[in-house]
Structures are given as C-alpha cells and as structure tokens.
Structure 1
Amino acid sequence: VTAGIVAGILKDGSADAARDETFDRRGAVLLAGCFGPMLFAITHWHKWGYTSPLILFCVCLSLVSAVGLIWFESRICYPIFEPSLLRIRLFILPALATIFLFLSLFSMIFLIPFYLIHPCRFSVNQVGYIMVTPFAFLFVFSPISGMISDRIGSQILCTLGMGIVFAGLFALSRLSPTHTAFPIVWRLALVGIGTAIFISPNNAIVMSAVPPEHMGVASGTLATARNLGMVLGIALAGTLFNMAFHSFSGGLSLKIYGPELEGAFMDAFRYAMFSGAVMAGMGAITAFLRGKEKIKK
C-alpha cells in the first residue's frame, strides 16, 4: 500500500486524461443487486434448501437487477460498463476465462488448508509454508510468460496455462491423506505455474483490444471478473463440499472433525476439487476460442 501511494505521488501526470463524465450511481446499485444476492444464494442454498423463500427471492432479485442493468446501461451516455465492449472477442472471452481461472484457483485455496489440517494433520505453520507454493511459482514464471506472449500472442499461452491448472487440480483431487509434503507441493506448484502462464498474456490482450477511451472500464471489468471468480470459487467449493460431505457421511456435521470422518471428508474433498478442475477445463476451452491476435513487431 505504501509503495502504491508513493508511486501515485511521484508519477508523471501528463498522461492522465480527465474527461467530463458523471458517475453511474444507478448502474453501480444494479450491479451490486445482480452479484450480491446471487452470491448470498449460492453460499446458503445447502443450509436453507433450494426452495427456501429467501433463496428464491435472492435469485429473482439478481435476475431482475441483471435485466435492469442491461436495459439501463444501453440508454445512458456514461455507463458503468460499456456494452459495446461485449462485441470485442479479444475482450469478452479473456474476461470469461479470468472468471474460470480464479473460480478454480480459489476453490483450491479454500479447500486445501482443511485437507492439510484434518486428514493430513499438519501443523498450522506447516500449512502456511505449503500454501506459499503456488504463489512462489506465480512470482517466478509470470515475467517469463509475459515476455513470451510478446512474441507468440496470448492464445497458446493462456490455453496452455489453463490446461496446466486443470492438470494440477485434477491431481489434487486424486490425493489421499499423507504425512509428507512433497506429493502435495508438486501439485500446488503445477497450479501456480499454470496461473502464471495464463495471467500476464491474458491481462495484456484485454487492455490492448479495447479503444483507449474505454481502457478504464476494461481494467475495472477485468478486476471485477477476478473478484467474481474468487468469491464464486469459495462459495461453490464450500457449498459442494458440504453437500457431498452431508451425503457421504449419512447426514453428519463437520463442526468437530474426528478420525471416523476421514472417509467422508476425503470423498467430499475429491468431489469439490474435481469440480474446480472442471471449471479450469472450461477456462482452457474459453481461452482457446479467443482465437489469434495480430502480433505487433
């Protein structure tokens, strides 16, 4: 945060272009009404039931807000989201692929600590060290991926990256309880490498595909896609795990873990982790469908 503040103060402001535009407050409210109730419903549908009046109300509110957002945004001068960007193939498909990436990534981030602490019985400190693995590889491989994308474009790298994430998550879904870190670490490393290969070229193509006057909206949309993928990943992973655990354990609760729950826990863990791998596979397909872009020489 401090580095960001210093950079903001010291940067040259000559490149900033101020425009006389109003903030789309109604669009912001509709956007929140679209995503907020949807996430609330996904988080609580297992606990309250699919036909719960509150769940149905949230779903209806989310749908009505989405329709209202589309209708309203197409009729104002300065929308919170520019509808014309949806016609840009190299914008919309990479943004969708971003959602799939972070959905699958945060499914893993949410589930793995419980697996390490309960069936594997690692200490909290050990769990912290192990969970650093994907981010360490992300730090190392991201610059390399960015340099390569300048030469060959984003399609191959992003498809490859999502494919590696799929392989890593699928391998994690095949895990058994273990007391050694290596079988877990190399799988987490795969996910980190795949994420690194994907992110740099994907971000670059999104920003280069939109007109200069819409770069701010495009950047905000990409950030929204990342955060939406994060919260959806956690919500779906928690919901799927709880549903599967409730089914495999005969209706038992995981409030207090015991050795007798290991079998049901691992079955539920594999089910939820494999679902994350499926999301990564869908992301790989989406990344490939973007097609090739012109490489600037």
Structure 2
Amino acid sequence: MAGAGGVLGPAVGGFLITAFDWRWIFYVNASLAIVAIIAAACLIRSEVLRQDTRSPKYDFTGAALSAVVLLTFLLAVSNGSQMGWTSGPILAAALGFIAFLAAFVWWELRSDVPLLDLRLFRSRVFSIGLITNFMSFVATTSARFLLPFYLQGALGYTPAVVGLVLLPNAASRIVLGVVGGHLSDRFGRRPFTVTGLLLSAAGLFALASLSVSSSLVHVLVGVLLQSAGTGFFQSPNSASIFSAVETGRHGVVSAFVSLSRNSGTVTGTAVATSIVVAVMVGGGDEPDINAVLSSVPTTGLLSSFMAGLKSAFMVMGALQLASAAVSLFSSPTGLQPASLPED
C-alpha cells in the first residue's frame, strides 16, 4: 500500500494543481495526516507490538549517527547533479557519508541496544529481500519522476491529464499487489518476486523506446508492465523479509523495510536526474531538467532530454534484471527465521 500511495500521489497532485493551485497539495496532505494520526491512536493496539523483551533503553548515539548518515547522503545525491559530482561540497558530503556510515555500523555492532540490529543481515533471505526492495524503489521512483516531464514537455499534456495517465499505474499496483501476495502464499514467493522484477524491467525497457511522437498506448503499455511487475514483487518480497526474522523483531524489520524504501526513493530521483542532466550537458544544454516543461518539441533541449530519458530507463531496466538475478539466490519460501542471540 505504501508503494501504491507513492504512485497515486502524483496523479491526485496533477488534478489538484490544474483544478485549484499548488497549495491544495499541502492542504490535502495535512488533512490526510490528521486522519491517519487519529486512526492510529484509535485502532493500533500498542501492547501487541511490545513483544521484544530486551532492554527498554534507547540508542541515542545510534540515532544521532544515523541522522548524520542520512543527512550527508541526501546532501550528496540531491545536489550532485546541479553542483557537480566532483565539486568540493559534494565530495565533502560523500566522504562524510562514508565516514559516518562506518561509525554507525561500528557502533551498532557493539551496542547492547542497537537502533538497527545489523545482525539480522546474517539471514540471506533478509539481506536479499532488503537489497532488491531498495533497487525496486530506485527504478520505480525514476519512472515516476521522469514520466511527467516527458508527458508535459514532449506530448504537451496538462498536469491533470498526466495525473489521469498515471492512474492505471496506481490501480495495477494495488490490485496486483493483493493478487501477488495471495498467490505467493500458496505457491511460494520466489517465482513471484523474480517474475515481478522481470516484468518491471520489460516495462522500463518499453519506456526507454519512447520518442516525441510516441502514442499514449505506448506509454501505457510501459507504465502498466512496470507497475504490474512492482505489484507482483512487493507483497511476496515483504512477506519473505518478515518471515526470515522471529516475531519479536518485527518492529526492527519494519524499520529496515521503511529505510530501504525511503532511501531507494531518494536515490532513484537523484540518479535519474543525474543521468538525464549529464546527457543534457553533454549535448550542450543547460543542466536544468525543469526547462523541458516549457521547451518547443523541435528544440535541441527536448532531444537531449529524450536521450537522457532513454539512458535512465535503460539503466533502471538493467537494475531490475540484476535484482531478478539476485532474487534467484534467496530461499524459495523464507520460512526459517534468523536465529539471533538475545541481548
């Protein structure tokens, strides 16, 4: 459902911008957040989640280190394409990320009450599940980020129409996520995770063949293949990750899954932007992807953008093929929880 919400958001956002203005995006999100807070307070039974009997102490050092790790990572990947990957601030942020990440891992492996229990990575199913989850969100986010630029800049659609074009993306992920989860419970998880990643790769390769004269059917075929693959993949993969760890550690596992999803989302946007901008700069254009929205279809700027779009989708498609290959090495069912010593 988290992934479906991610692709449904741009569709609703496009409608709100066209029908009202950009401020309504924040009005709606704030209202939904209030509803979610009230629902969580009323419906979630906290005692059910308190199954970890280890020390109730909190790892403040680990939390501080993790915050700095995420901050330096975001500074580097979010600004690298504009400031230049070899610029001083970006190199400093990258080196800081590596240093603080090493410090975080060192601390977590020695802490009595680690914020994130890295010993969970002893489980091959857990490790492969998180890695492929991260790579899946990298690819999914790149498509979700770049397609509106193509639909508006190359095909001339309004934000509202772009939102409608992206609606099947959300619908297929919601429906096929449920179907994939149900079928994987009956027939095993690995066939559906691998098949889902292969479908996602096929969709991304189809999107890589787009041109300024492509039809809407071409776009929808690529979008539906990619979203269908993601839907088939996510539910079985998440179930596999959780099944690899005993129930008392599911709170920590949930944190790892959220971390892989959110870091994949940020990384996907940054990598996709960097690829497109690099191609645009190589073509002699300014490193401003937003300029595509107001460009004329016959200009060199749009041609450079299309070349960058193709490169980005080809890279992401190859990433999904690599993820499918990695998934082949996971356990078919993942039903053996990782045996970790209690603190």
Does residue 176 of structure 1 match 2:211?
yes
**Cα displacement (A) at 1:262:** 2.6
d(CA) in 1 for partners of 2:335, 2:63: 36
Pairs within 5 Å for 1:69-88: 69-88=104-123
d(CA) in 2 for partners of 1:252, 1:13: 52
SS state of the match for residue 132, structure 1? helix
- Superposed CA deviations along residues 127-149 of structure 1, whole A, max 9, x for unmatched, are 11011121110111111111111
Does residue 231 of structure 1 match 2:271?
no
Letter in 2 for 1:111: L
Does residue 288 of structure 1 match 2:323?
no
Structure 2: 5+ residue stretches without partners: 1-32, 337-343
- 8 Å CA contact retained: 1:94, 1:286: no
What residue number does 1:243 align with? 278
**Cα displacement (A) at 1:65:** 0.6
Does residue 257 of structure 1 match 2:295?
yes
- Superposed CA deviations along residues 229-254 of structure 1, whole A, max 9, x for unmatched, are 00000011111111111112x24454
Q: 1:35 aligns with which of 67, 70, 82?
A: 70
Letter in 1 for 2:331: G
Q: Give percent identity, aligned residues only.
A: 26
What residue number does 2:189 align with? 154
Superposition TM-score, scaled by structure 2 size: 0.81
What residue number does 1:104 align with? 139
Letter in 1 for 2:146: L
d(CA) in 2 for partners of 1:37, 1:13: 33
Letter in 1 for 2:271: L
d(CA) in 1 for partners of 2:161, 2:172: 18
Structure 1: 5+ residue stretches without partners: none
Aligned CA-pair RMSD: 2.0
d(CA) in 2 for partners of 1:13, 1:36: 30
d(CA) in 2 for partners of 1:10, 1:270: 46
What residue number does 1:278 align with? 318
51-60 or 221-230: which moved more? Answer: 51-60
Q: 1:202 aligns with which of 237, 247, 250?
A: 237
SS state of the match for residue 328, structure 2? helix
d(CA) in 2 for partners of 1:295, 1:214: 15
What residue number does 2:50 align with? 17
d(CA) in 2 for partners of 1:239, 1:295: 39
Letter in 1 for 2:89: L
